[in-house]
Structure 1
Amino acid sequence: MGFRFFLSPPQMSGNEQQYVQEAFESNYIAPLGAFVNTLEENVKSYTASPNALALNSGTSALHLALRVSGIGQGDFVLASSFTFIGSIDAILYQGAIPIFIDSDLESWNLSPKLLIRALESLPKKPKALIVTHLYGQCAKIAEIAEICAQYGILLIEDAAESLGAFYDKKHSGTFGEFGILSFNGNKIITTSGGGMLLGKNQEKTEKARYYSTQARENLPFYEHLDYGYNYRLSNICAAIGVGQLEQIEVKVSKRRKIFEWYQETLHKEVESQTLEFMPEIPNSRGNRWLTTLRFLSPKVNPLALVELLAKAGIESRPLWKPMHLQPLFRDSISCVDGTSQKLFESGICLPSGGALEKCDIDEIASLIQKFLKNR
């Protein structure tokens, strides 16, 4: 179906084409090149991360974070249940065992209380936690980091959706030992496909760099003492990213404005407790990558609304189906209280692309209001 309004389409709005042309003219098309180096430096500057490694996806970044941290076969790795499966795939790549932690309604992100409950009840100590900053909104990261420090758990932040999000003026993905970003086509900035590993420790980040280039030794011929991966970002993709990152604050501002337009238009439904938007925790600034909401009446079926909007040429989606409810993980260990299942069954993601204007939001909100009146 050809949608008029997509959920989160890419938006080129600056020097991307100029930089791509420069990359073509230099003939550095394949992985590595000046724009890869520039993108890493610019991400370091924006996030204040000591180290950054440009890669072909956020999942690759998570995989490398786990490998250089010594996570392996049979190790327990705690993770947000309410997330995209890319957050979990990397755990499986290392032969480790994911342990799923539910969300809380205050943040829709991982619950610190349930994290403690899991740590106190598991049969063996987990090696790491991968916490997701969902839909661009910060988790209770200061509290979570404190718990991890107390229990001696390695903290890795999945900030794939939260570039431009800050907690206490510190960028998401910089609280833990590692953080990861995604530049997939639907993210707030894109390289068409790509990601970034943020790291506190230079030695570990350089080890990840080594693995990302097939673990090739620094010799004039190809020699390998270990195995690696083809995980580097191309110079062409990085050129797009450099242009995109120059506009990050403009893009965050527009996404937050789109959220405000939805809030304004649907304020009566909020006041009557018909629906609620994803909260923003105190002392944080999310990027509002996607505007998400949930309906508070069990009589409202989000899938019916998704279908209705699609008929009008408007793309929307249900919220993530929690990992502990996925058939792949039917036998998994989890610490849940039903929160993420409730969110999944009652929630929806709305079009949030940066090209949307107030009149577009009014049209989408009007269809939601009509849908609710007919329930």
Structure 2
Amino acid sequence: MAAASPSDLAERVRHALGMPEDHPRLDELNAWAARWHNTLDIHPSRGIWSQLDDTARSELIDAISVPESFFWRYAAQLQRVVSRVHQYTGAGKVRIWSACCAGGEEPYTLAIMLAEAGLLEKAELVATDINARKLAQARIGRFSERAVRPLPAPSTCRWFDWQGGLHPWQIHDRLREAIRFEKLDLLAFAHGQVPPPLQAPHVVLCRNALIYFDKHSQRRIVEAFYRTSDAQAWLLLGHSERLPLTQTQWQLHTASDHAWYAKKTASSPEPPRPSTRLPEPARTDRVVPRPSVSPETHSIRQVRAVHATKKGTETSLTESLKQARSASEPHAIIQACRRALYLDPDCAEAHWLMIQAAHASGQIPLRDRHRRLLQHILASLPERTMINMETPVSVADLRRALDTLEGNTP
């Protein structure tokens, strides 16, 4: 029996792939479903993924993948990994897995750091993604000006050759040969259907990937990382990602500008501090004040360096917020907020507008999800700090407004 409608097919796929209700690529998923719903013969009693032919599956992966990345992203976390490689005294190499690597910017950044510290030969680097097209690009090692821009200039000159074209920067063969790229479905791995790409990794990088899965899928993925990793493994997530406080498998460790998780064992050692001075990374996130408010007012938006230095992307964030403020229908507000949060996951105003729109439209799970995210952002700020919105509001007032929503229905 065929899917009843494009929306029915899209909803089945969303549930099957563990995509949350506020996934930023839902419009692309709906467009894919509109193209394929008359062609596919989907039976509800069978897994939907196995019923897609190669073409439909490939187009779906391209539609829902979020391949946005760039070099030197959250570099302080990667410097922590370099420190671990430097201090490793075990047999063999340090096994490092970069999950959901998109076009390879993350593993190549780590390879550059390791090479500049003289440690590249001490690490085994494996990078995986479900998108075969992006993996092919990663193996070639050609990158756009935008992706390479955050790199320190000496590193760009040392490890890249300019060849012109749409992706003008070609990374050197030494780094390409140091990384093994493999196709891997993270959900299939989480359900034990495929093995990990390397045995007992010491470090797992899964940054800015879990936010695109629902809570159940997130838990399964993290548990699979725990089962298959080394006894003293580390897990590194994105800046806006945190494991639940109730989980007992991973212990959170924090530094001034980054965090990581260490696997809990009967005698978990304290993760080592860097013992050598490594190349200073370019800051990829910082607090950016808006000029329209007083010096005492602080913005909590953690803006990626590449967005902060490129006017076009910053304008897109501003335009998305403007559209969300001016829209009258909750659906339009939610869509505009999704675009804003894709550019800046820590934008307080976008979370707040999303909460209000979801509350007004009766989407309680969506409302509560963004309420928790905003509460997490506010947790580390003093109550008198002013948050930059259309009308600045204090942290204390915003917390009280969030508390009034808890447990309420519109």
Give the TM-score, by structure 2 length.
0.31
Give the TM-score, by structure 1 length.
0.33
Q: Could you say which structure has the greater relative contact order, defined with CA pairs below 8 angstroms and 6 or more residues apart?
A: 1
Larger Rg: 2
